[in-house]
Amino acid sequence: MITLSHLGKTFGGAQAVSDISLTVPEGAFLVLLGPSGCGKTTILRMLAGLEHPTAGEIRFGDTAVADASRGYVMEPGSRNAGLVFQSYALWPHMTVAGNVDWPLRVANLGREERRARAAEAMEMLGVAGLAARYPGEISGGQQQRVAIARMIAPRPRVLLFDEPLSNLDATLRVEMRTELMRVHRATGATAVYVTHDQIEAMTMATHVAVMNGGRIEQFDPPERLLSDPASAFVARFIGTPPANLIPVQAGAWFGRMPDPALRGATGHGMVRAEDLALADAPGPDTFAAQPVEVVPMAGRRLVTGLAEGQRVTAVTDLAGPVPSELHFRLPPAPAAIFDPKGNRLS
């Protein structure tokens, strides 16, 4: 179980992270999701013990590993946590086996124990065959596996990942996601995973904290982020394709198409791409748009148009050529309504 209470961190006066509170159970897979600069990596580094919180507390189970009020910080090595760096941070002067073995040596394990654990970790990640190679001699994907093997060999209770897949190509990324989930299940440890890729979050996480500007926008299981976004930010960030946020003014779409379902609101109405349809001709519930792009996806097509300066995307079964003017048909009601500041109204 990991508990963060009112966690905060300032760097020389700049607030990187403020008032973060969340709890995940033992064995959870927590993803910190957000754009770059949102503070997610800072939280991860505080969990690792590489940064010291300036406010709040971090507990692993019943143990406080950092408590800013007491000025207490537990050394990284004592936290029983492992970290996979974005750069992998393999030690270039040691072989693959040497990299996996070194943390075990530091832990003063016996020779037999070390050999068994290193072999087990390398087996699990499928890099046993590379044991004698140096990091410079293996591919990026293999380096990634070695970095993970190195992390799990000492059997930490907390697994920390800092955007570990960002340097891999698309195919490898998909493969490694599965691999990571397998490793996570096999170890039974609690994982905290930092990424800006919402697909990674959606596929791997049991819990997701969507972050923005050093704060948590929403902390929920992945499905809830889709079904019930807490803010316009989350709605825009999550989903493939992300939901359309169409401006509404005094209960009218674009300020000119009154709709009682908007209940007089001003702000944005959220319309999922799958709820938006293409109409053959203009109607009372349609609006016109210039076609921008068409992306085939899973046998259907994502059609994006520009309406009053706003990108709008619909999932359609449209066949044949794209007409020179699009007409999007609005659903009977928006999935959600946000005020101009992005707060959820309904």
Partner 1 sequence: MTARAGLRARLPAGLGLNLGVLALLALLVAAPLMTILMQTLDPERIGAWSDVLASPLSRNLFWLPALNTMALGLGVAAGCVLIGGFLAWLVVMTDMPFRGLVGFLATLPFMIPSFATALAWGTVFRNGRVGGGGGLLEGMGIAVPDALAWGMTPTMIVLIAHYYALGFTVIAAALATVNGDLVEAAQMTGASRRRVLFGIVLPVVMPALIAGGSLCFAGAVSNFAAPALLGLPVRMQTLSTRLFGMIEIGQVERGYVLAILLIGLSAVFLALGNRLLAGRRSFATISGKGGRARRFALGRARGPLTALALLICLVTTILPILLLIAASLAPMASSLFSGWTLHFWIGEADPAFARGQAGIFNNPQLLRALTLTVAIGAVVAFLANVIGILVAVALTRHRLRGISEAVSQLSFLPMLLPGIAFGAAYIALYGAPIGPLPALYGTSVLLALALTAAMLPFAVQTGRATVAQISGDIDEAARLTGAGFFRRIGAITLPLASRGLLASLLLCFVNVISDLAIVVLLYTPTTPLLSVLSYRYASDGFHQFANAVTLVILSISTLAAGLATLLRGRNRPWLSS
Report the C-alpha gap between 132 and 98 in whole angstroms. 8
**Is residue 141 at the binding interface for partner 1, with CB under 8 A as the rule?**
no
CA distance 246 to 286: 13
Examine residue 78 and tell whether it contacts partner 1 (CB under 8 A).
yes
Residue of 56, 103, 229, 239 interacting with partner 1 (CB under 8 A)? 103
In contact, 166 and 90? CB cutoff 8 Å: no
Q: Figure out which of the listed residues 34, 39, 53, 154 binds partner 1, where binding follows CB under 8 A.
A: 154
Select from 85-93, 229-237, 280-288, 299-307 the region that touches partner 1 (CB under 8 A).
85-93
User: In the bound complex, what is the minimum distance in angstroms from residue 325's beta carbon to partner 1?
Assistant: 41
Shortest spacing between CB 87 and partner 1, in angstroms: 3
d(CA 91, CA 108): 19
Name the minimum Å distance from CB 85 to partner 1: 4
End-to-end CA gap in the chain: 33
Rounded to a whole number of angstroms, the minimum distance from the CB of residue 14 to partner 1 is 15
Closest approach of partner 1 to the CB of residue 66, in Å: 15
Q: Please identify which residue in 106, 186, 288, 297 interacts with partner 1, judged by CB under 8 A.
A: 106
**Distance separating alpha carbons of residues 4 and 21, to the nearest angstrom:** 5
The first and second tokens of residue 105, run together, are 């040596």
The number of C-alpha atoms within 13 Å of 218 and in the hemisphere containing its C-beta is 23
Between CA 290 and CA 299, with CA 293 as vertex, the angle to 5 degrees is 125
82 binds partner 1, rule: CB under 8 A: yes
Report which DSSP code applies to 98. Answer: H
Binding site for partner 1 (CB under 8 A): 48-50, 75-78, 81-83, 85-94, 102-103, 106-107, 134-137, 143, 150, 154, 167
